[in-house]
Amino acid sequence: VGDYFDKIGRAGPTPHGMASGFFRGTSADQDDRWGNANKRMMKKLKFPKVFDEKCDMKKVNLDVMSKWVTERLTEMLGFEDEIVISLVINSMSDKGLNPKQLQIDITGFLEKQAPVFIEELWTLLVEAQKNKHGIPQAFLEQKKKQLQSASVQPAVVPPKEIKYLGATTMAPLMPIPSSGPAPDIGASVEQAKAKAAAAAAAAASQPPLVEAPP
């Protein structure tokens, strides 16, 4: 028995046609079948021209883009899928990110929406690398519009107390438009006076209240 193990080695016999290190499994990169299928898929699909542009992921603000990826995928899928979101975000950390390969990778999750999403993503990434802050120009324009709309609010004339015929009332608040002629404040005052006069006349027509004797 000892001579037998000395001849074949202590690790035991190696199956015919199988290397000793092959028991650990074969990755997709090592499997020629996967590589050939991937190449055929690449040739079959039509990709937009923006995919031909290179993107330096070091110049991209990944925090901003990761937030967009999460919101956009959730919108497309109708729910927050952590698996596909993590797949895309982790792929953006790769220096040699290939948009064509990424589209193929997520097709099983997004199906027909995969080309739409990857084209949007790559367009934003290409814009982001050109900005010194690593943020797409589209995001900056959107934020600028939000700030402008928030700052343009109609001014309001403060209430003015009006006393007429013993009655006290407050002038109505009138918004002042940001542009154009100023509102006619005098007309509002005259309306308030007319209302006060009518209220005073109505009060005068009522019989006086007589207090009951103690």
* Residue 14 confidence class, pLDDT cut points 50, 70, 90: very low
26: pLDDT strictly greater than 70:
no
Rounded to 5 degrees, what angle do the CA atoms 138, 140, 143 make? 110
Q: What is the pLDDT of residue 37?
A: 77
* Residue 43 confidence class, pLDDT cut points 50, 70, 90: confident
Handedness of CA 32, 37, 43, 46 (dihedral sign): negative
213: pLDDT strictly greater than 60:
no
* Residue 195 confidence class, pLDDT cut points 50, 70, 90: confident
Could you give the CA distance from residue 146 to residue 61 in angstroms, rounded to a whole number?
21
* Residue 39 confidence class, pLDDT cut points 50, 70, 90: confident
Q: What is the pLDDT of residue 156?
A: 58
112: pLDDT strictly greater than 80:
yes
Look at residue 67 and give its three-state secondary structure: helix
Could you give the CA distance from residue 129 to residue 152 in angstroms, rounded to a whole number?
32
Rounded to 5 degrees, what angle do the CA atoms 56, 96, 137 make? 30
The fraction of the chain above a pLDDT of 90, given in percent, is 43
Give me the mean pLDDT over the 47-58 stretch. 94
* Residue 183 confidence class, pLDDT cut points 50, 70, 90: low
Q: At what angle do helices 99-110 and 114-129 cross, to 10 degrees?
A: 140
The fraction of the chain above a pLDDT of 70, given in percent, is 57
Instruction: Convert the pLDDT of each residue in 124-143 to its tens digit.
Output: 999 999 999 999 999 999 98
Evaluate whether 106 touches 118 at the Cβ level (below 8 Å).
yes
The end-to-end CA distance of the chain, in Å, is 131
